[in-house]
Amino acid sequence: EQSLFMAAQPDNLLLATAPRYCQYYNQLHQLPLVALPLPFDESQQKKLEVPFTLLWHKRNSHNPKIVWLRETIKNLYASMA
């Protein structure tokens, strides 16, 4: 993950495009950054979505640790949507 170097430069007029989850870090650290939605309609935004796929070997399908990890990752991304 990239550092929040821009936040260390309070007297600039920089513009950045970042993933939506960066807004969470902005709020968490109370940074003076502004998050604005992209000026696209819903159909255009859908084209920008990047799918994530979880892969594991079938021998680990019932491993409690792997099951926990998969569910944790799924819940994390579901809560950010």
Q: List pLDDT tens digits, range 10-62.
A: 666 666 777 777 878 878 888 777 777 778 888 888 887 777 788 888 999 99
Q: Does 13 share its domain with 30?
A: yes
pTM: 0.42
Helices (H), 1-81: 21-28, 42-48, 64-80
Number of domains in the chain: 2
Domain that holds residue 30: 1-48
Q: Does 41 share its domain with 55?
A: no
Q: Does 21 share its domain with 59?
A: no
Q: Does 44 share its domain with 74?
A: no
Q: Does 36 share its domain with 59?
A: no
Give the single-character DSSP code of 69.
Answer: H
Q: Could you tell me the two tokens for 76?
A: 């994390």
Q: Does 70 share its domain with 33?
A: no
Q: Does 13 share its domain with 31?
A: yes
Cβ-based neighbours of 77, under 8 Å, separated by 6 or more: 52
Cβ-based neighbours of 7, under 8 Å, separated by 6 or more: 29, 31, 32, 33
Report pLDDT for 7.
56
